Amino acid sequence: MDSDALSTFLTVHRRGGISSAAKALHRSQPAISRRIALLEQELGMPLFERIAGRTMLSDAGRVMVPYAERAVAAAQDAENAVRALARPDSGPVALAVVGTLAGGRLSAILKRFATEHPGVDLSLRTATSAEISGLIRRGEATIGLRFDRDGSRDLDCELLFAEPLQVVCATDHPRAGRRVARLADLRGERWIAFPEAPGRREIAASHILALFQTRGLGDVAWTPVDSLTAQKRLIEAGFGIALLSQINAAEELESSALSTIRVGDLDASHDIVTVTRRGGFLSAASRRLLEIIRAAYGGVKASKR
């Protein structure tokens, strides 16, 4: 069993079949089929099953996935570590970030890093928090920036700071700039939130509903909008109010495009954390990027004391 066989197995799993995996790996379908057959022969059990015309993991395949991911990531670590001996200040660095954190602060981080390390190939992708953990676990991203800690034993999470959540409204809202004693006072408002979806924890409707339900208030009216920009434009137009983090509404609040409603009993926040693979290799450039991220968000913590 070698890393190429495991990588082929994972590609078939993620692409949903031999044909798609062959295209992704630029190999023939018979070659992919033979690679999987040899791996199954070595293990003595089938890794895939055909169910209703679809290629699905068998029980053995499901057991195999996390171990294969770790093995492939470790092989990539070994290659990167050896290459780093020759060129310690170069090589690829892959950063994965929750989309709603991809704002001005992240731009400043990337600009500083690019200036300091012009020879490093830095890539950026956005995803949900759960997806970011998966990318780090599989070695497809070097550093992740997400909401809330991941309790997985194969990941290291470092808290940068706790970002307070606030109620944001249009500037001409009757309660704009005012204070209400309780969240219950806003029960009759129409709320805007990200749709509830598996693996997503970023200020979803479930988060808003949970805040009301813990106070015994039941359901509230809400509109699912799967775009932070669209949410803010709808709020500006007076279509509803939302529970947003300070970092996500900072520009609009500063320009007076949006306003806030202060809530006396609202004490909610999102932890913003970095994620790396426990025991994974981090190049000098990757460690420097982590330092820049810590410094950028450390300034936020200092300003909140």
User: Average pLDDT, stretch 77-105?
Assistant: 77
If one counts the domains in the chain, the total is 3
Phi, psi for 7 (deg, rounded to 5): -65, -40
Query: Do 129 and 217 belong to one domain?
Result: no
Query: Do 100 and 175 belong to one domain?
Result: no
Residue 196 is given by DSSP the state P
In a domain, 96, yes or no: yes
In a domain, 82, yes or no: no
Tell me which residue range forms the domain holding 52: 3-74
In a domain, 228, yes or no: yes
* pLDDT value of position 183: 87
* pLDDT value of position 174: 95
Query: Do 169 and 265 belong to one domain?
Result: yes
In a domain, 81, yes or no: no
Query: Do 263 and 172 belong to one domain?
Result: yes
The CA-atom distances, in angstroms, between 210 and each of 193, 219, 220, 243, 258 are 13, 9, 10, 12, 25
The CA-atom distances, in angstroms, between 165 and each of 6, 133, 268 are 43, 23, 6
**Rounded distance, CA 247 to CA 163, Å?**
7
Query: Do 258 and 169 belong to one domain?
Result: yes
Query: Do 18 and 113 belong to one domain?
Result: no
* pLDDT value of position 240: 94
Query: Do 129 and 181 belong to one domain?
Result: no
The CA-atom distances, in angstroms, between 243 and each of 117, 197, 205, 259 are 38, 17, 9, 12
Tens digits of per-residue pLDDT, 6-29? Answer: 889 889 998 888 989 899 889 998
Query: Do 171 and 185 belong to one domain?
Result: yes
Query: Do 47 and 144 belong to one domain?
Result: no
In a domain, 84, yes or no: no
- Considering the chain, what percentage of its residues have pLDDT values greater than 90? 33
Query: Do 156 and 275 belong to one domain?
Result: yes
CATH number of the domain that residue 233 is part of: 3.40.190.10
In a domain, 56, yes or no: yes
* pLDDT value of position 204: 66
In a domain, 177, yes or no: yes
User: Average pLDDT, stretch 120-129?
Assistant: 90
CATH number of the domain that residue 69 is part of: 1.10.10.10
Query: Do 256 and 167 belong to one domain?
Result: yes
Which range, of 12-16, 86-90, 118-122, 157-161, averages the lowest pLDDT?
A: 86-90
